[in-house]
Structure 1
Amino acid sequence: MKRLLITGAAGALGRAMRVRLAPLAETLRLSDIANLGDAGPNEELVQCDLGDAAAVDKLVEGCEGILHLGGVSVEDKFSKIMNANLLGLYNLYEAARKHGQPRIIFASSNHTVGFYRQDQHIDTTAPMRPDGLYGVSKCFGEALARMYFEKFGQETALVRIGSCMEKPANHRMLSSWMSYNDFKMLIECAFRAPMLGCPIIWGISDNDSKWWDNSHAAYLGWKPQDNAESYRAELDAALGKPDPKAALHVYQGGNFVNDPIFAED
């Protein structure tokens, strides 16, 4: 494509995808509210608050695809979550509707279903069970994307990211981990699919230990290559055996189920 927009490009996942997705478009338009550093040879840098509708409209104009990683990614005050994850997402979809409906990959989250136990195996038909306000914001995002698809035909891949990082950091991530390269391949598959629709896709690698069923998304041709199991011995040596009664090892959302609701100032 000519121009790919990546929001949230200053975050850890945004920085990882900024490098890996460079060959996917002639120009990467990178956006964040935070500092983005120096522009690379095929990069445009745009500092943008997602809550600013006019700024988001300009941000989306001229883009043929959007990887939406922007917004608050942890439990926080509702006002912050509302601006970035609710109002900001609405602004993004309205801008996309006005500017030719570029295909969107939306970084949803496993925290939409965080109160399921780790001994439960679910597919995308399972009712949402968000584990905090952050999870609720992602439930909203999935519903908003679905409405724009049904009403306007806006295609979106709703990727419920588990734990996307260089390698698993704890035993919970033996089930929830997705490698950077597997995410990159998923993005490529979602953009090149002749027909995408609005599928929910579990963002995990080919882990031996799985809670989630991705069989419904086989039509995309995505076949993750990495497996968190190769890190089990390393985690055992570093962390010891997990406590079976700890929230981190009981709930699919891990410690998010215990996070407090942050009071407003």
Structure 2
Amino acid sequence: MRILMTGAAGGVGTLLRPRLAREGRVLRLLDLAAVEPGDGEEAVTADVTDPEAMAGAMDGVDAVLHLGGYSVEHPWQDILDVNINGTYVVLEAARKAGVRHVVLASSNHAVGFHPREAEAPDYLFPRPDTFYGVSKVTKEALGSLYHDRYGMAVTCLRIGSCFARPRDLRMLSTWLSPDDCARLTEASLAADGYHVVWGVSANTRGWWSLEEGRAIGYEPKDDAEVYAPDLIAELGEPDPESMEHALLGGRFCGPALDVDNLTRER
């Protein structure tokens, strides 16, 4: 089996590479930055917005894990070119190559302006908090289109915070451990149909449903709570009234990411 991973040099891609390694599996690593391949890996230096390059990268591919694109807010034209058009180029290349399974990295920022409640349901209606969030809504919509029109199996992962360990109080609720990220990816690569799944571990303080993830075979094993004593000792108890904890998108909903601030030189 050959899996094309776009954005392989990024944070999530770097964490996943050793965890997705399997005998009989080849990971084809694609990124704008050069990647040094290891055992069971191939490297392609290419831009996800380049149709010719993506067509070549799909040769012999059985499934696609699309992580490529900007991972934080950028001006509209950047988001449009890379995150939105890039996803179209990837899906169109996959369709033409006959790839049947695609996993798309969405984000909690697709629904960031929803107030936090006891547990956000699966398939929560979009309320993006940024242009970046809009690109994730569009990614989910494109995935739906390519499933319904072309029969492609597509799973969209609304990823929370995927790091080696939680970095702040918010991540006690939103953390996706690297090992659970790999478990979720494996389940998604095997899932038929179209799904939108929360990318989160089984956190004691979790905000998001795990029902749809479990329905496709994802069984999270990690819990950010083991890091809570140290984080609370350092940062204090979480304030449920703060933007970080009152809205699903946290600080992405704040004025620092207003469009006027994005277009200024930094």
TM-score (norm 1): 0.93
* Cα deviations by residue, 1:210-263 (Å, 9 ceiling, x for unpaired): 222231343322110001111111111122233444321221111100122222
* Cα deviations by residue, 1:182-236 (Å, 9 ceiling, x for unpaired): 111111222234xx21111100101112222231343322110001111111111
Structure 1 residues not aligned, in runs of 5+: none
1:6 aligns with 2:5: yes
Matching residue of 1:233: 229
Structure 2 residues not aligned, in runs of 5+: none
- Residues 172 and 203 of structure 2 are in contact (CA less than 8 Å); yes or no, is this contact kept in structure 1? yes
- Please point out which of 248, 252, 260 is paired with 1:252: 248
Counterpart mapping for 1:1-265 below 5 A: 1=1, 3-23=2-22, 25-36=24-35, 38-193=36-191, 196-258=192-254, 259-261=257-259, 262-263=262-263
Percentage identity across aligned positions? 40
| 2: CA distance, partners of 1:41 / 1:218 | 31
Distance 1:21 1:125, change over 3 A: closer
| 2: CA distance, partners of 1:260 / 1:230 | 35
- Residues 123 and 196 of structure 2 are in contact (CA less than 8 Å); yes or no, is this contact kept in structure 1? no
Structure 1 stretches of 4+ with a deviation exceeding 6 A read none
| 2: CA distance, partners of 1:24 / 1:158 | 26
* Cα deviations by residue, 1:148-200 (Å, 9 ceiling, x for unpaired): 1011101111110000111111111111111000111111222234xx21111
| 1: CA distance, partners of 2:135 / 2:264 | 17
- Residues 4 and 25 of structure 1 are in contact (CA less than 8 Å); yes or no, is this contact kept in structure 2? no
Letter in 2 for 1:29: R
* Cα deviations by residue, 1:42-81 (Å, 9 ceiling, x for unpaired): 2211111111111111112211111111101100011211
Distance 1:219 1:246, change over 3 A: closer
**How many aligned positions are there?**
261
| 2: CA distance, partners of 1:24 / 1:143 | 34
Secondary structure of 1:178's match? coil
Letter in 2 for 1:122: A
Secondary structure of 1:199's match? strand
| 2: CA distance, partners of 1:117 / 1:24 | 44
Letter in 2 for 1:249: H
Letter in 1 for 2:44: V
| 2: CA distance, partners of 1:255 / 1:189 | 30
Distance 1:93 1:74, change over 3 A: same
- Residues 123 and 197 of structure 2 are in contact (CA less than 8 Å); yes or no, is this contact kept in structure 1? no
| 2: CA distance, partners of 1:171 / 1:29 | 35
| 2: CA distance, partners of 1:162 / 1:72 | 15
Measured on the aligned residues, the alpha-carbon RMSD in Å equals 1.6
Letter in 2 for 1:159: L
| 2: CA distance, partners of 1:239 / 1:172 | 11
Is the deviation greater in 248-257 or in 215-224? 215-224
| 2: CA distance, partners of 1:260 / 1:25 | 47
